[in-house]
Amino acid sequence: MEAIKLIVGLGNPGREYVNTRHNAGFWWVTQCAEITRIGLKPEPRFFAVAGRQLGDEALHLLLPQTFMNLSGKSVAALMHFYKIPVEALLVVHDELDLQPGEARLKKGGGHGGHNGLKDIAAQLGTLDFWRLRLGVGHPGHKSEVSNYVLNPPKVDEMGEIESAIMRSLHVLPEILRGDLSAAMLKLHTKV
């Protein structure tokens, strides 16, 4: 069981994107940085804002600054530099197929049209990595998706997304020690 060594939050850089649904991965990793006390700073060699915690198992946090469609460039740069295997990667991203308030862990699968996942898979040559999917809901029609993810959620939806972020951060200890099945059980079980 491989411990997670790199957590990537997907989003778009720039003030105009800060509160958009597509930045749910950024929100999660920013909260994770606070909990783990990992300082995030610009890292030009990784095309990102990044930080790391040293210890028995180094933990890297990464917020690619390449825009969503080129996220893989940043992820691959850091993974190659630190020789992190794909089994130790967790990508946190917005998920149209889940409602706001839902969070799901899974390993592998398709990219579901998500351009960030698509580019990471292209750069790494595989889709077989862990994902934490944060539900943002679906606008109802495929043609509305781009506009939908690049806009902020409604106030009640934002509350639900924040609640899912906090709930999923409760399984961070299991995630970090590589016990993803325990993390999934805890996260996916309704109480």
Active-site positions? 22
Tell which residue, 65, 85, 92, has the closest CA to residue 9. Answer: 92
Q: Dihedrals φ, ψ of 107, to 5°?
A: -115, 135
Cα–Cα distance, 100 to 124 (Å, whole number): 29
Q: Is 17 annotated as a binding residue?
A: yes
Locus of tokens 């890292």: 43
Cα–Cα distance, 43 to 173 (Å, whole number): 26
Q: Which residues are annotated as a binding site?
A: 17, 67, 69, 115
Q: Which residues are annotated as a binding site for tRNA?
A: 17, 67, 69, 115
